[in-house]
Each structure stands twice: as structure tokens, then as C-alpha cells.
């Protein structure tokens, strides 16, 4: 019985004395940092791609709403604002009318063509990253 008690104290003492060294902790932190870096390398381009697709979809929704507004109001020559379409209940008031970068969409109506555009990730008009629906349409200032 006495031998068992001594053995269990020795085992318990070793378990308490045993811990993680600084090197082991640094290795674990380095592994976690490498995994996080790998995720960031993959996730950031996918996030940018998703923002562009979201912008294109939102611009299509607004463009369709402009067409509906023009049909309902019988004003094919005029171009509504987003607030007019919300007031006339063509657009849902809870819908986000800004692009993912926080800039408002620009609606232009020329002839029979409605163009909805965003200045894109750089927030500057007239650059190559601008997004417009229909694609390839040029927005006049």
C-alpha cells in the first residue's frame, strides 16, 4: 500500500512538472500562422470575385426596376432615381442600393437604353474596373 502511494505521488509529480516548452508553443503558433496565411491567399481573391458578382446582380435588379418604373409611369424618356423607385415601391426599401464598396449605383437612360453602373473596387469612374449593366455600355459623365 505504501509503495502504491509513493508510486502515485511520483507519477503525479511528473505530470505536474511536465508542460510545454517555449519551442513547442512557437512551433504551434508558426503552424497556425501558416494555415491562416494559406486561407487568406485563397479567400481574398474569392471575396473580390464575389463582390463583383454581387455588384453585377444588384445592377441587373436595379436596371429591371427602372424598366418596370418606366412602364408603370409611361415615362420612357425620363430616368428615375433610386429614391423615386423606392417611393413608388418598385424597389424594396430594405434593398441595398449601394455597391459592395459603399458607392451608390449610377443610373443613366439614353434613348431606349438603361445603364446601371458602379465605379468598381477602386471607387474611381472611368477606370478599367468599372462595372456596368449591360456589360460594355459606356457611362457618360
- 28-42, pLDDT tens digit by residue? 999 999 999 998 898
CATH number, residue 48: 3.30.700
pLDDT for position 34 = 95
Number of domains in the chain: 1
> 141 lies in a domain?
no
Structural domain harbouring 32: 2-133
CA distance 100 to 13: 58
Contacts of 94 (CB under 8 A, 6+ apart): none
> 140 lies in a domain?
no
> 86 lies in a domain?
yes
Q: What is the mean pLDDT of residues 108-117?
A: 84
> 126 lies in a domain?
yes
Q: Name the residue with cell 439614353.
A: 110
Amino acid at each position: 500500500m505504501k509503495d502504491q502511494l509513493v508510486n502515485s505521488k511520483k507519477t503525479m509529480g511528473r505530470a505536474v512538472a511536465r508542460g510545454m516548452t517555449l519551442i513547442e508553443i512557437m512551433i504551434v503558433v508558426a503552424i497556425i500562422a501558416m494555415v491562416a496565411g494559406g486561407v487568406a491567399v485563397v479567400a481574398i481573391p474569392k471575396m473580390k470575385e464575389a463582390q463583383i458578382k454581387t455588384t453585377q446582380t444588384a445592377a441587373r435588379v436595379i436596371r429591371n426596376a427602372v424598366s418596370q418604373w418606366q412602364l408603370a409611369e409611361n415615362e420612357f424618356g425620363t430616368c428615375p432615381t433610386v429614391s423615386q423607385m423606392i417611393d413608388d415601391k418598385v424597389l424594396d426599401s430594405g434593398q441595398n442600393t449601394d455597391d459592395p464598396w459603399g458607392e451608390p449605383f449610377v443610373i443613366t437612360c439614353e434613348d431606349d437604353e438603361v445603364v446601371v453602373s458602379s465605379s468598381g473596387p477602386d471607387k474611381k469612374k472611368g477606370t478599367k474596373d468599372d462595372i456596368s449593366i449591360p456589360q460594355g455600355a459606356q457611362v457618360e459623365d
